[in-house]
């Protein structure tokens, strides 16, 4: 039987097959409000902060082998490397909504880091270990002769967090609104 092969259906680039995902849309509304409140009142981000604190402290232990300066920086490095690595994974695998959510996590970490940086001179934030431990950013800024600029540098990092928060909200809402529609299965080829 000489039958011509049946042409495969394909979506035309001009009309992608997308639909609104109500779960994703609802989740974006939630984290947009949660993040906005966190930009105004950092204390409202306590849930993510406590989770990120574990990652931060692990960074000190992991980066200890690279010397004292990197050990102090290691908490902040780990706090950024973990969500950045996950975001790269999601975007590389074209899971863009999930990547947008991970951008939100990066933004929250930047807000957390900025708060810690701005506290370098005043050292009013409670630290794990109490008064017996050295404030990471006091040590780092002191070593780099930047201690007098702790609030300005922390303010810049806060601004970066704000920008990435905005990007995360845009990416998340865009991909919640334009979720790929499940493709119908291809009919089996006849032989």
Task: Give me the pLDDT at residue 130, please.
Answer: 60
Burial (CB < 10 A; 0-12, 13-18, 19+), residue 180, is middle
Asked if residue 52 lies in contact with residue 109, where contact means CB atoms within 8 angstroms, the answer is: yes
pLDDT band at 186 (very low <50, low <70, confident <90, very high): confident
CA distance 99 to 78: 18
Average pLDDT over residues 164-187: 82
pTM assigned to the model: 0.81
In this structure, the dihedral spanned by the alpha carbons of residues 166, 158, 84 and 129, taken in order and rounded to 10 degrees, is: -140
Would you kindly state where each structural domain of the chain is located, as residue ranges? 29-180
Does position 46 have pLDDT exceeding 80, yes or no? no
Whether the CA torsion 115, 121, 124, 127 is positive or negative: it is positive
CA distance 147 to 134: 14
Contacts 24+ apart (CB under 8 A), 173-178: 173/25, 173/28, 173/32, 174/100, 175/24, 175/96, 175/97, 175/100, 176/20, 176/21, 176/24, 176/25, 176/27, 176/28, 176/97, 177/18, 177/20, 177/25, 178/16, 178/18
Task: Give me the pLDDT at residue 9, please.
Answer: 44
Q: Of 85, 96, 77, 82, which is closest to residue 175 (Cα–Cα)?
A: 96
Q: Which tens digit of pLDDT belongs to each residue from 56-67?
A: 999 999 999 999
CA angle 151, 82, 22 (to 5 degrees): 100
Task: Give me the pLDDT at residue 10, please.
Answer: 45
Give the whole-number percent of the chain exceeding pLDDT 90. Answer: 62
Asked if residue 181 lies in contact with residue 19, where contact means CB atoms within 8 angstroms, the answer is: yes
């Amino acid at each position: 039987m000489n039958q011509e092969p049946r042409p495969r259906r394909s979506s035309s680039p001009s009309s992608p097959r997308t639909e609104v995902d109500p779960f994703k849309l609802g989740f974006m509304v939630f984290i947009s409000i949660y993040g906005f409140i966190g930009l105004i009142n950092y204390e409202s981000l306590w849930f993510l902060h406590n989770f990120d604190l574990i990652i931060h402290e692990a960074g000190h232990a992991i980066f200890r082998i690279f010397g004292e300066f990197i050990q102090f920086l290691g908490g902040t490095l780990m706090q950024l490397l973990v969500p950045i690595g996950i975001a790269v994974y999601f975007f590389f695998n074209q899971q863009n909504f999930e990547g947008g959510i991970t951008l939100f996590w990066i933004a929250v970490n930047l807000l957390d880091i900025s708060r810690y940086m701005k506290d370098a001179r005043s050292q009013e934030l409670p630290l794990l270990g109490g008064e017996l431990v050295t404030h990471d950013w006091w040590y780092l800024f002191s070593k780099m002769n930047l201690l007098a600029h702790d609030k300005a540098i922390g303010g810049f990092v806060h601004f970066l967090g704000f920008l990435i928060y905005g990007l995360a909200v845009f990416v998340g809402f865009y991909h919640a609104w334009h979720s790929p529609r499940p493709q119908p299965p291809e009919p089996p080829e006849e032989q």
